[in-house]
Amino acid sequence: MRHDRLTVLKALEAQGVAPVFYHADPEVCLNVIRACSRGGAKAIEFTNRGDFAVDLFGDIARELQKTDPDIILGIGSVVDAGTASLYLNRGARFVVSPCLVEDVAKVCNRRMTAYFPGCGSVTEIGQAHELGCEIVKLFPGASVGGADFVKAVLGPMPWTKIMPTGGVDPEEASIAKWFGSGIVAAGMGSKLITDAAVKSGDWAGIEAQVRKTVDAIAAFRASN
């Protein structure tokens, strides 16, 4: 497989931001995903949302494998093993959950696919590690303790790799606060890919915003 588990993990950590996106129109999805890729974020989280989302994902993934094989498309908002399997069979290269689901971890491990479970406590993070999850999704990031929580976890558990979603903005101050606390990446949705840009078809604007965010993360890392 072109994008195995280690390749996905390295790509996500390198770019630092995981764009999170959903739209019902496949052409809009393809334009947004390609804009994110051109902006330096080739690993992108599509959201499992609404009826027939799995069919939409399959169509998008099939097209991207033909035209943009370097793009790493994953699926988010997965809360059960059956749904994870459906997306894995349609080309999902990583799976993200808002919560920790042991059965999803087992399905992903069986397919050697990265799984990022949503965790809100040290106990859940420890359980995720037992299940083989290299990166845990802190969710909802700002509501379960924010950057201070990340620092507190990394004290006794310095091997932990945390990717918050919720509360991380593409501004330099937010990037400095969160990445300064020790996170390895951050999921960003509507503040990175704005509704206004999507509605107006401003793909160049989305590309520029993603590039600015990727560069800001790289600059912070280089100076710290």
Selection from 87, 91, 121 nearest residue 104 by Cα? 87
Spatial distance between the Cα atoms of 117 and 132, rounded to a whole number of angstroms = 11
Whole-number pLDDT of residue 31: 98
Task: pLDDT band for 61, please (50, 70, 90 cuts).
Answer: very high
pLDDT for 170 beyond 70: yes
Selection from 217, 224, 219, 222 nearest residue 17 by Cα? 217
**Mean pLDDT of the region 124-146:** 96
The 10s digit of each residue's pLDDT in 70-109 is 999 999 999 999 999 999 999 999 999 999 999 999 999 9
Whole-number pLDDT of residue 2: 75
Question: Distance between the two ends of the chain, CA-based, in angstroms?
Answer: 35
Which amino acid does the sequence have at 111?
R
Spatial distance between the Cα atoms of 184 and 164, rounded to a whole number of angstroms = 9
The 10s digit of each residue's pLDDT in 150-167 is 999 999 999 999 999 999
Selection from 114, 115, 173, 118 nearest residue 147 by Cα? 173
CA angle at 128 for the pair 125 and 133, rounded to the nearest 5°: 120
Which amino acid does the sequence have at 12?
L
Q: Compute the mean pLDDT over every residue in the chain, rounded to the nearest whole number.
A: 97
pLDDT for 1 beyond 80: no
CA dihedral of residues 75, 40, 193, 49 (deg, nearest 10): -10
**Mean pLDDT of the region 32-53:** 97
**Mean pLDDT of the region 44-48:** 98
Whole-number pLDDT of residue 94: 98
Whole-number pLDDT of residue 50: 85
How far lies 46's CA from each of 120, 143, 155, 194, in Å? 22, 23, 32, 15
pLDDT for 46 beyond 80: yes
**Mean pLDDT of the region 99-121:** 98
**Which residue pairs, CB below 8 angstroms and at least 24 apart, start in 3-8?**
3/72, 3/93, 4/112, 5/112, 5/113, 5/114, 7/72, 8/43, 8/72, 8/74, 8/93, 8/94, 8/113, 8/114
- Indicate the SS3 state at residue 187: strand
